[in-house]
Structure 1
Amino acid sequence: MPWLLNLAYLAAVLAVAPVLLWQRVVRGKRRPGLWQKLTGRLVRRTGDERLAWFHAVSVGEVLQLEPMISECRRLWPSLQILVTTTTATGHRLACERFLDCHIDWFPLDFSWAVDRALRRIRPDLVVLVELELWPNFILAAHRKGIPLALVNGRVSESSFAGYRRLRWLFSRLLSRFDQLVAQNTIYAERLEELGGAPQHIQVSGSIKYDRIETRRDNPDTQELAASLGIAQRSPVFVAGSTQDPEERLAIEAWAIARQTHPDLRLVLVPRHPERFDEVAETVVSMGHPLLRRSRVTEQTALQTNSPVVLLDSVGELAACWGLADVAFVGGSLTNRGGQNMIEPAAYGAAVLFGPNTQNFQDVVDDLLERGGARVVADGPSLAIRLVELLDNPTTAAALGEAARRLVLSRQGATATTLEILNELLPEDIRRETGSTEADRTADAA
């Protein structure tokens, strides 16, 4: 099987090679870490301290790991931690957030790359976030007797439909895991149907709720507001994790709302960094002054009259949601399937999103059931809802408070997950059953 997979991967690489070469030559696009990914030459582990390898694909998964890594440091001070990523943006953020961890690149799923990486790292535990199933890596780790865990596992409805057609493969992979920790019972049932062993599947809740900031006066949000010249009294409409054409729809809705709310500020946060310049051109072409986060100096924000802000940075969206009176979560008026709406909900913003949210259906269902969000069908509906919420601050506040209460009621998945991972660690570092939760409760008291 490994060499069949290698041939399939090589065919895929050859197919996209002309595009990659064109991007490198014409656009100057570099792909850092490519050599390490192809060869598996990760920085060799030295010493015999116990080591856990956490893999987070990109920015979202890196952020999910924050509460887990923090708790790991507290519970197992001697445990060495390696965090790998696939994307360059995720790698940069991991380097910024996990200063006391080893950061490296996840190998491409060629048999020679994953074998070399595992030999060089010699992990005592491998933890994959959400649903990262690379066959050669998983099978190699299992052959070497390395405990494997999937945490914060999720299988969206659309993904499940595709995965079921490859159940013969997923069954072989999922059966190699020592623990499959799902966000909810629906995802757990899907993991079992795809071939996961029932005795190895557990439900923890979503870690995304645990890392969430709920205070608008947190330092990151306050610093961002000061940098962008956003006064506390100014109403703010944040459109985050957007895709084309959602930025244009958000601008049009903001322009309509500004006719009756002239001090309304708009903050745009595109989902993909490579679209920052494109979105900036869209704002200017529509006749609006623009302030770009990347070009802010100490005096710029204070002197600007730009009502539109482009947050063209990575890793600041979480803090930015804390500025929002009304928040539109992107990827929901396109076919992407939505983006994470937990962060704006946690701040008590009035949350709006489109009808295409199947990737976060459980969160959407909970928010709508609690009266903590509203669905908009299209651009004109977005404008209508935005104006309604600005005209009726009491309604907006009730919407936001319902969302915030939901988030607070869902916290606790990190502690549950670490109790499960504790049982997979070597005995010489493992804590007594129940001690991780007891320690957390004692600290909270």
Structure 2
Amino acid sequence: MVLFYNLSIRLYVLLIRIAAFFNPKAKQWVVGRKGVFKKLQEAIRGEEDIIWFHSASLGEFEQGRPVIENFKEKYPNSKILLTFFSPSGYEVRKNYEGADYVFYLPPDFAGNAKRFMDIVNPRMAFFIKYEFWHHYLKELKKRNVPTYIFSTIFRPDQLFFKVYGAFHRRMLSAFTHLFVQNQESVDLLNSIGLSNVTLTGDTRFDRVYTIATGSKTLPKVEGFAQGKEVLIAGSTWPKDEENIIKYLNETKNSYKYIIAAHEVDEDHINNITSKIQKTWVRYTKATKEEIDAAEVLVIDCIGVLSSLYRYGTVSYIGGGFGRGIHNTLEAATFGLPVIFGPNYHKFQEAKDLIEIGASKSYENYSELKNLLDNFYENSEKRNYSGLQSKNYVDRMRGASDKILSEIQV
């Protein structure tokens, strides 16, 4: 199995290198790792107390950020090393002030893992949510480095719990402790003989609360909303946009609409605006007068979505017709009802929000229309769902403190 794993990693790296000739993100993945060991050696002094945090991408980083920042606050003399697998994390957060060092993680080859550990010599290692790298974990265990994973969630269909999953189960044995999101994860890990497990919840609740309390005032959006009912569609993909735009084109109510697509390149923004039959404006290009008069505001930049929700009445979260929905909690923390497509079952918070009446999922346009009409016409129902959203986030906060209280520093 190790041979197959090694071959698969090498094949992945080869394919990424080929893709780098025509794919910008693949190119960033390759170029960003050039000379990484030399850069590590130049940056890190051997006597430093290094605490290593690893994240796959930007989403996982934001999830782990409360733990990183709380750790740094409690232990200011330690040096935080933050590594990323994906360009979506590194390129956005390479200048993150909460870490002393930020690097790409070299591919998971045995030689790379050994060399990385020789240079970094971490006193502790933290993996955020879903990062299981065989050689790195093996090297950490071999060197008796306390190693943790947090905000993770396990499902019965994962390889760890299959009769042929011994190789993957061995990776789990490298962790000193596993901090998980739900009781099902605890039970699954217990079923394969792991008792070093604690149910702490999801650190994203701490993060979205921090974001909400520090959210930016957006004068243009404030002028656009003008106290009206505002539907905010965040992190949308083409299928989401098709349904939302159909609704806004057909409906006669006085909703205002904000569309913040997942991709904001010029072609995609133009594709969205070409289908809108109501008065629309682009966020970065409109005058105050144009924004005040518009019915639809199209966000054509990044970095404002989490602050948009404060101006909303109802939220729609994209991704539910693809690989999975995006961040529902950023909207929920502002006390908004949350709507999303059918692909949400891998997300514990989405299931929880539906169960308590804070969220609704839909399968087709007809169902979406009924949901939006109901929320518009029934303010009591809308307010109830919004209150359930906010109370849920408030109730679930505190995972970061629970994790750090369990760790022997």
Q: 1:16 and 1:31, CA in 2 relative to 1: closer, same or farther beyond 3 A?
A: closer
Q: Distance in 2 between matches of 1:182 and 1:203?
A: 5
Q: Deviations over 1:211-270 (max 9, x none)?
A: 123896x553423x536853341322112232331111111122334x221x51222232
Match of 2:259 among 249, 267, 270: 267
Q: Which residue pairs with 1:200 in the alignment?
A: 196
Name the SS for the 1:21 alignment partner. Answer: coil
Q: Deviations over 1:294-313 (max 9, x none)?
A: xx26x745544553334344
Question: Residue 127 of structure 1: CA displacement?
Answer: 0.2
Q: 1:2 and 1:229, CA in 2 relative to 1: closer, same or farther beyond 3 A?
A: farther
Q: Which residue pairs with 1:108 in the alignment?
A: 107
* Unpaired stretches in structure 1, ≥5 consecutive residues: 426-445
In 1, are the aligned partners of 2:332 and 2:389 still within 8 Å (CA)?
Answer: yes
Name the SS for the 1:359 alignment partner. Answer: coil
In 1, are the aligned partners of 2:20 and 2:27 still within 8 Å (CA)?
Answer: no
TM (norm. structure 1) is 0.81
Q: Percent identity?
A: 21
Q: Distance in 1 between matches of 2:369 and 2:195?
A: 49
In 1, are the aligned partners of 2:114 and 2:139 still within 8 Å (CA)?
Answer: yes
Q: Distance in 2 between matches of 1:206 and 1:219?
A: 20
Q: Which residue pairs with 1:380 in the alignment?
A: 366
User: Mean Cα displacement is larger for which, 114-123 or 281-290?
Assistant: 281-290
Does structure 1 residue 31 correspond to structure 2 residue 19? no
Q: Which residue pairs with 1:285 in the alignment?
A: 274
Question: Residue 166 of structure 1: CA displacement?
Answer: 4.8
Q: Distance in 2 between matches of 1:162 and 1:47?
A: 36
In 1, are the aligned partners of 2:50 and 2:124 still within 8 Å (CA)?
Answer: yes
Does structure 1 residue 211 correspond to structure 2 residue 207? yes
Q: Which residue pairs with 1:74 in the alignment?
A: 73
Q: Deviations over 1:261-284 (max 9, x none)?
A: 1x51222232xx4x6444313223
Q: 1:232 and 1:76, CA in 2 relative to 1: closer, same or farther beyond 3 A?
A: farther
Q: Which residue pairs with 1:439 in the alignment?
A: none
In 2, are the aligned partners of 1:147 and 1:177 still within 8 Å (CA)?
Answer: yes
Q: Distance in 1 between matches of 2:173 and 2:159?
A: 19
Question: Residue 128 of structure 1: CA displacement?
Answer: 0.3
In 1, are the aligned partners of 2:57 and 2:85 still within 8 Å (CA)?
Answer: yes
Does structure 1 residue 8 correspond to structure 2 residue 8? yes
Name the SS for the 2:80 alignment partner. Answer: strand
Q: Distance in 2 between matches of 1:190 and 1:50?
A: 34
Q: Which residue pairs with 1:49 in the alignment?
A: 48
Q: Which residue pairs with 1:364 in the alignment?
A: 350
Question: Residue 32 of structure 1: CA displacement?
Answer: 5.1
Q: Distance in 2 between matches of 1:391 and 1:37?
A: 57
Q: Deviations over 1:123-178 (max 9, x none)?
A: 11110011210111111222222221111111246x52686365111111001111
In 2, are the aligned partners of 1:62 and 1:93 still within 8 Å (CA)?
Answer: no
User: Mean Cα displacement is larger for which, 174-183 or 322-331?
Assistant: 322-331
Does structure 1 residue 351 correspond to structure 2 residue 338? yes
Match of 1:183 among 159, 181, 184: 181
Letter in 2 for 1:356: N
Name the SS for the 1:220 alignment partner. Answer: coil
Residues paired across the two proteins, number: 405
Q: Alignment RMSD, CA only?
A: 2.9
Q: 1:163 and 1:301, CA in 2 relative to 1: closer, same or farther beyond 3 A?
A: farther
User: Mean Cα displacement is larger for which, 300-309 or 142-151?
Assistant: 300-309
